[in-house]
Amino acid sequence: MKLKFTVEGMSCAACSASVERVTKRIEGVNEASVNLLAKTLVVEADDNPELSDKICAAVAKAGFSAVPMVEKAPEVKQTAEKTNEEDAGKASREMKIRLFASIGFLAVLMYISMGHMIGLPIPHFFHGEENALIFAFAQFLLTLPVMYLNRKFYIVGFKALFHRSPNMDSLVAVGSAAAVIYGIVAIFMIGYGLGHGDMEIVRSYASNLYFESAAMILTLVTVGKFLEERSKNKTGAAIERLNKLAPDTATVERGGRTLEIKTSELVVGDIIVIRPGESLPADGVIVEGSSALDEAALTGESIPVEKSVGDSVMSATINKNGSFKYRAEKVGGETALAKIIELVRDAGATKAPIAKLADKVSGVFVPIVMSIALVTFCVWLLLGKSFDFALSCGISVLVISCPCALGLATPVAVTVAIGRMAERGILVKSAEALEVLHDVKTVALDKTGTVTEGKPTVTDIIADDKDALLHIAAALEAPSEHPLAGAILEYCKANSAEPQSVTEFTAVSGRGVTAVIDGKRAFSGNAVYMSEQGMVTDKYDAVLASLAGEGKTPMLFAIDGEIVGIIAVADVIKKDAPDAIERLGKMGISTMMLTGDNKITAAAIAKKAGITDVSAEVLPGDKERIVSSLMNDGRKVAFVGDGINDSPALTRADVGIAIGSGADIAIDSADIVLMKNELSDVPAAIEFSRLTLRNIKQNLFWAFFYNMLGIPIAAGVLSGFGIVLSPMIGSAAMSLSSLFVVTNALRLYRVKV
């Protein structure tokens, strides 16, 4: 079973690693994954009703809090989301107050402690050795409000330290507390020096107070957190936009009356009235009227789609013109929009395999940093350096180290990418699929509905009198149930050839049909059928062979024993198929088409699309076998199909991509769903994956590089060259590192593929 929890109290990757570690230790838990960005814990476990309580208890013991996430009814969910937004707004306001108040006290503190260094006028009672105690004590009093305003670092940090799960807050708490404690000791030493007339002690301690460092550390880290949170909030922009697409109210017809009700009160079977400019509140089928609907929000398709009676419509699409009524088929959490939001949110909470490296490092990062800080302090003392210098280096090591950058490197990029792809109509079900996709070298494609449109279409009309041929065809095909008959009849109606009534209609399986039209016997079928009816087809053999060679199905039409023309029908390739195949080739990806059709038709379709490798006359099971053999060659393989009869191959492939209608988004066997039914989204998805992985690698590189470079400098290894990093600079650098990672990930919003 899968359990989901909301986890509070996490501030960095070390926190998330700790939560994962304690959860995995519980008997019955098979896998645990924490998303630091989403503050969620997803657990795969055995079916045990007591397991949820055990997980919450274990997480609480580690110093955090976990609350089970439960599915809510639509109305409750909307209320909860509104409450969450209000809570987030309140937290943001509180952080602003905390930040600006801290900056205010820090500004006064910096003026008093360092103003004289740049020639600023300082009150006389802060000058001189005789006023050293006032000078030191004033700084202490100004530091206390900053510590109180940012007490969260101490509460969370020391609590995590007590539970042997130190995190970033622990580093900040220990570093700033050490500076303050040293400052308090300095106040006592200044008092001692003044009392005993030892001005050397007074001068020494008065010139090496660290109150401003402590306040600066707390304030700069808060600045970084504030900017980081603002940036991270943008990562959920796609989900927020999707959430706001559905209207709050709907107009329905009930009991002969037209009512306006809340969208959450809709039930299956309701007749919903839609006017121009309105957004649809549920999925359903049009029962009256017609219009053009803008489906861009769900599918990414910019051109409005014409809809009429009998057509399916989706929630959150916008009615451009005209009015219509439709019957609700899916409401609330069952709509296409709700499933898309759930899919995107769940995918954002998963972890990409590349994140495992950062997780392993994060799990031991903070203890190692604290050890390095202690060793740094001791080594410098043993080497004869002053206590002040050793303490400064130790504190700098603590505050420059940033597990946050490591923890955010992957989830921020994944969340932004999955949201951005969803806006285009590419739904990714997991971060793992997003990562694997970037390494795909072979794309295997189903033919029908993937490379082709998936429905027969009239492609050629060969006749001396086209109108006469279409009227005969309309009459003959109207009673027929053959799949090709529907395509011909649709074409005839579009060209004003309405079907006439016929008598003595007979269908011959695999051959054709015959009927009497206005007293004359008419026929429709292949050449064999026509020959069986005594008609000569020799002069049409070349044309029939040519059409068949192009993957088309030619049908002869005759009346009164005379052939009057040919109508060719085919499942035509999608307009974007050749460009998509060409683009995949330029990306270094080979393509292969798998189809159950005959070899002639398959070869013709493949040639038009630009595919050179074709396997025809294969069954669904054979497709899975072919995909498996391709994977055995060591190449990452993606299979693109319709998600129904291709499910074995979709499941077997490294990445299964379902291409189809936006209403069919819950295809279990696919890792990625392309809602626009366009083949061009396949190379687009792969390009997105490559850009995302590149972004993640950039983030991880800078996070590792920053710590590998910053920690030694903070420890004072370059002090011999006059390069010493103060705790204030270290805390500023720590804040900027996390901000850099988040900002770099947000660049994915500007990507166009």
Residues 6+ apart with CB under 8 A from 553: 456, 484, 547, 568, 569, 570
CA–CA separation, 412 vs 38, rounded Å? Answer: 9
CA–CA separation, 177 vs 354, rounded Å? Answer: 36
How many CB atoms sit inside 10 A of residue 356's CB?
Answer: 11
**CB–CB of 641/658 below 8 Å?**
yes
CA–CA separation, 268 vs 289, rounded Å? Answer: 20
Strand ranges (E), 363-488: 426-428, 440-446, 457-463
Backbone angles phi, psi at 275, to 5 degrees: -105, 170
Whether 446 is a known active-site residue: answer: yes
Pairing status of strand 636-641 against strand 440-446: parallel
**CB–CB of 41/66 below 8 Å?**
yes
CA–CA separation, 695 vs 744, rounded Å? Answer: 7
Give the residue from 73, 76, 74, 71 showing the smallest Cα distance to 250. 74
Task: Taking each helix axis as running N to C, give the angle between helix 681-715 and helix 727-746, from 0 to 180 degrees, rounded to the nearest 10.
Answer: 180
Q: List C-alpha distances in Å: 532 to 337, 527, 535.
A: 55, 9, 7
Residues 6+ apart with CB under 8 A from 395: 175, 178, 179, 210, 213, 217, 373, 727, 730
Query: Running DSSP on this structure, what letter comes out for residue 452?
Result: B
Task: Taking each helix axis as running N to C, give the angle between helix 403-424 and helix 13-24, from 0 to 180 degrees, rounded to the nearest 10.
Answer: 90
Backbone angles phi, psi at 435, to 5 degrees: -75, -45
Query: b or e along 534-564 (b: 16 or more beta carbons within 10 Å of the residue's beta carbon)?
Result: ebebeebeeebeebbebbbbbbbbbbeeebb
Residues 6+ apart with CB under 8 A from 401: 171, 365, 366, 369, 707, 710, 711, 734
CA angle 539, 543, 549 (to 5 degrees): 140
CA–CA separation, 392 vs 178, rounded Å? Answer: 10
> Active site residue: 283, 446, 597, 671, which one?
446
CA–CA separation, 497 vs 491, rounded Å? Answer: 9
Residues 6+ apart with CB under 8 A from 556: 523, 524, 525, 526, 527, 529, 530, 537, 540, 544, 563, 565, 566
What torsion do the CA atoms of 630, 626, 601, 642 make, to the nearest 10 degrees?
A: -100
Strand order from edge to edge, sheet including 503-508:
457-463, 562-570, 553-559, 520-525, 512-517, 503-508
**CB–CB of 506/515 below 8 Å?**
yes
Length of the chain: 753
- What six digits make up the tokens of 564? 């009057």
Alpha-carbon Rg for the chain, nearest whole angstrom, is 35
What torsion do the CA atoms of 542, 545, 547, 553 make, to the nearest 10 degrees?
A: 130
Backbone angles phi, psi at 651, to 5 degrees: -75, -40
Amino acid at 484: L
Ordered alpha helix ranges (H), 610-726: 620-632, 647-652, 681-715
Catalytically active residues are: 446
